[in-house]
Amino acid sequence: MNGGSTAALGIWWMALAGVAVVVRLLSPGILEGGDGVQHFQIAYYAWKHPELLLHHWGKPLFTLFASPFAQLGHWGMTLFNALCFVVTCWAADGLLRRAGMVARWLFAPALLLVPVYGTMVLAGMTEVFFAMLALLVLRALFNERYVAAMIIVSFMPFARPEYIAFAPFAMGCVVWKRHWRALPFVLTGHVVYGIIGGIVFGDALWAFHHDPYQGADGIYGRGPLSHFSDHLQNIYGAPFPWVLGIALVAGCFLWTRQRDDRPMLVSLLVLAVLPSLAILVVHSVLWWQGWKGSLGLFRVLATTAPLLVLAALWPAVRVGGVLLRTTVGRAVALLIGGGLYMHWAVASFLFEQPLPVVPFTYDRFIRNVGEHVGRIKGQYTRVVFYHPQVAYYAVVDPYNATQVKQGSGPDASRAGHGLEPGDLLVWDAHFGPNEGHTPLEGLLADPELELLEMMIPDEGIKVLGGRPFEAYLFTRRPAHRREEHATLAYPDTGLPFALPHRLDTLPCANDGPGWCFGGGEFPLELSGFPLHAPDLLYVDITVSGQVAWNGDVAGNAELVFAEENSAGRMMYWAEPLRNGGFSYRYRIPMRGSDERNKVYVWNRSGLEFRLTDFRVESTRVFRGQ
């Protein structure tokens, strides 16, 4: 009977894993386009460049196991993580048997519907692999296979850095059980990788000397200590904190009424709850202090999801088995309680991550940039890039140094920033000035770099550092550019508008400067910005002024730059208008002669306001002398 139920559970786990893979295959977009794409590229090209099997940031153990699946394409990473999910369910099942069949059947869907975990399965990220290792350690300890547990723990540093918060509890369990002979095996992973690193790098301690989480403090910033705890519902799903609360009450009940359950409750507390709490605390402190390149990403807590689901499900379901003595009662409880939970969990998951995954503005833009580079790469000797998705969509091997180079910092001391003639440099506003440490201003000022073109998304968005998302393509040859500056509107000095315009002004309450606007939805509009001319590269448009809302309540309005052509909207960029001064820059590449544009105020609130010191300036940048 037990063998039959285990086989049925295996089919159930595989079916759920299959759903995740199908969702990935049906999704036009991908999750985690930055780090996720890099992990895929490292795993995919590891067979061609074996040194990538020791890529510290890529997580060597993850790369080793994921690389065969990466050969299938990016969706193969989802397949790999789906199989990790199955192994995780198998490992947890060994601990859930005393809790009963209901717990064994509920574990898999409950885990997959934890938003931070399910999305990482789809994204093919490393957190799911690490979580699997953690559950394998728990099962090994539960089965008193202490040497096996320590060997698995020994390799966890090469899967993810969260081992630092998990390993002490597993080692403490072995010490508590007095299995001293098992403890030395916790060095197995470091010995194995130390020997390999000694051969490859000549440094047996390379894992310590090549820490990839250094030097990013000034890039990613820091945040509040409560960053993760404030978003537990977003991370684990809205119903999960309630289940944890029920589990706490159930655990107290079982402790007092079911003495035989005490060892399991202690094990769950020490090996599941406390490590999860430790990982939460470590990441909270790192983000609070801005250490170790922490970006405050929720996804890191996917490492704890199986531990917490196990710790919550075991007492919550076990207490039902104790209180409900009849099969009918248990079945009714399962149908009602389990059904309500699954309905709520599905709704919560889809609220955090709608499915299938669709590409948003950011993803569409970087894909356009990468595909454009793919079309023109044959004209250049080498492609130098910063954003990993550029290489991904351009279909180039980012580790082939003769054809491709990933930018790693400015080299302004050398002509052309160190580029060679024939290089194509693809600078993006996200990775370029941050991970790449290359400011755009230095590239534009370098006389040995020619700007070929710039690209912008179809909707204005800002990336890390508050910069507008843009891409610039350069090559190494003498640059010849000229600029034309113009003031297109400066009414406060009596200068006329140099553009078609529309103003819906009202008499001001006094004779002060500026214009007064009523509650009209679109009270101001300027159109016909000159974005088409021979040899034009781009146009910088700066709109500035002072806004004062009438009354004590500030209104809700936006300054919008919009473009359209015969096919519809091309670009839309909105910036807020609050009390006080504003200055917004819109940098637009050359457009066709049939495309229309305008800057307008969208007054959403319908409240009156005064606009003073209004000024519109443009700088047009051309190729040539």
Decide if 139 is inside a domain: yes
Least confident of 376-385, 449-458, 502-511: 502-511
The structure tokens 């297109």 sit at: 488
Domain's final residue, options 437, 455, 479: 479
In this structure, the strands spanning 382-385 and 423-428 are parallel
How sure is the predictor about 427, in pLDDT bands with cuts at 50, 70 and 90?
Answer: very high
Three-state DSSP class for residue 422? coil
In tens, the pLDDT along 43-81 reads: 999 999 999 999 999 999 999 999 999 999 999 999 999
Residue 251 has pLDDT above 80, yes or no: yes
Give 494 or 122, the one with higher predicted confidence: 122
Same domain membership, residue 270 and residue 132: yes
Same domain membership, residue 391 and residue 419: yes
CA distance 515 to 412: 47
CATH number at residue 513: 2.60.120
Give 601 or 335, the one with higher predicted confidence: 601
Least confident of 335-339, 355-359, 377-381, 444-448: 335-339
Same domain membership, residue 69 and residue 19: yes
Burial 33-64, CB ≥16 within 10 A → b, else e: bebbbbbbbbbbbbeeeeebbbbeebbbbbbb
In the chain, the percentage of residues whose pLDDT exceeds 70 is 95
CA 622 to chain centre: 37
Least confident of 218-222, 403-407, 413-417: 413-417
Decide if 130 is inside a domain: yes
Domain's final residue, options 352, 381, 412: 352
CA distance 260 to 308: 22
Q: DSSP letters of 578-601? A: -SEEEEEEEEEE---TT-EEEEEE
Omega before residue 356 within 30° of 0, cis: yes
* For range 303-324, the mean pLDDT: 90
Task: Provide the number of structural domains found in the chain.
Answer: 3
Decide if 362 is inside a domain: no
pLDDT at 225: 93
Give 7 or 17, the one with higher predicted confidence: 17
Least confident of 174-183, 450-459, 487-496: 487-496
* For range 99-116, the mean pLDDT: 93
CA distance 183 to 172: 10
Decide if 357 is inside a domain: no
Give 216 or 440, the one with higher predicted confidence: 440
Decide if 358 is inside a domain: no
pLDDT at 408: 65
Same domain membership, residue 328 and residue 187: yes
CA 503 to chain centre: 43
Burial (CB count <10 Å: 0-12, 13-18, 19+), residue 291: middle
Give yes or no for a contact between 482 and 622, defined as CB atoms under 8 angstroms apart.
yes
Same domain membership, residue 345 and residue 390: no
Domain's final residue, options 323, 352, 381: 352
How sure is the predictor about 204, in pLDDT bands with cuts at 50, 70 and 90?
Answer: confident
Quick one: which of 221, 203, 207 has its CA closest to 54?
207
Sign of CA dihedral 165, 170, 175, 181: negative
Decide if 363 is inside a domain: no
In tens, the pLDDT along 110-134 reads: 999 999 999 999 999 999 999 999 9
Same domain membership, residue 320 and residue 307: yes
In the chain, the percentage of residues whose pLDDT exceeds 90 is 69
Count of CB atoms within 10 A of residue 205's CB? 12
Domain coverage including residue 223: 2-352
Same domain membership, residue 466 and residue 515: no
CA distance 338 to 235: 21
Same domain membership, residue 576 and residue 530: yes
Decide if 111 is inside a domain: yes
Q: DSSP letters of 102-118? A: HHHHHHHHHHHTSHHHH
- How far apart, in Å, do the first and last CA atoms of the chain sit? 85
Decide if 42 is inside a domain: yes
Least confident of 67-71, 325-329, 457-461, 482-486: 325-329
Quick one: which of 144, 139, 288 has its CA closest to 222?
288
Radius of gyration in angstroms for the set of CA atoms belonging to the chain, rounded to a whole number: 29
Same domain membership, residue 196 and residue 280: yes
Give the residues across from 209 on adjacent strands.
none
Same domain membership, residue 93 and residue 59: yes
Same domain membership, residue 474 and residue 589: no
In tens, the pLDDT along 508-526 reads: 877 677 888 988 999 999 9
pLDDT at 3: 63
Same domain membership, residue 424 and residue 462: yes
